[in-house]
Amino acid sequence: MPDFILKPITALGRDAAEVETIGPWTLTEKIDVALASLAVRRGRLADVQAAASAAGVPLPGPAASATGALYGAFWVTPEMWFIEAPFATHEDIRAALLAVFGEAASITEQTDAWVRFDLSGPGLERVLERLSNFDLRAAPDGAATRTVMEHLGCYLIKRSSALVTIYGPRSSAGSLHHALVVAATSVL
């Protein structure tokens, strides 16, 4: 019998999600979201759109995100999206999406490949302009883009003027977290 017990930890290596307040901003490690990629198979776009509509899975256009009753999504490339859902009900998000899309789409589990940070508060553009060339001030709510932060390929989603989501590689969660904290601290 082994003398150790396996237990889940967050991307930052803790027992619970990290939440930090830095001046007017709150940086939250989100661990309650399941994530999967959905790519349309050749010639099956109409099938995917019909299945998505019936299941309430939003499929936003280029550089955009959308939120439905159960699923959220953001555009990644033509005919490809990342789909978000509550982890409590979608721990196996791939299986749930396969039941919706069948052979019309290729679906890949992404939950443990990415770390998600939500940054909230007023004046977020002051923080993010130090990390990315994405013009948060000019972007509409719901904008989504691939960008680079601290030499890491990340996805940035503007949920509102006071809330952004940043997805970065889980293997670099500590570096991305540090960069976000330093950027916020530097503009206080």
Is-above-0.85 flag for pTM? yes
User: Do 105 and 48 contact (CB within 8 A), yes or no?
Assistant: yes
**pLDDT tens-digit readout, 72-110:** 999 999 999 999 999 999 999 999 999 999 999 999 999
Domain residue spans of the chain: 19-31+113-186, 33-111
The reply to whether 33-111 shares the fold of 19-31+113-186 is no
- 33-111 topology per CATH: Alpha-Beta Plaits (3.30.70)
- In CATH, the number for domain 19-31+113-186 is 3.30.1360.120
Rounded CA gap, 74 and 66, in Å? 6
**pLDDT-derived band at 1, boundaries 50, 70, 90:** low
Rounded CA gap, 180 and 149, in Å? 9
User: Do 108 and 80 contact (CB within 8 A), yes or no?
Assistant: no
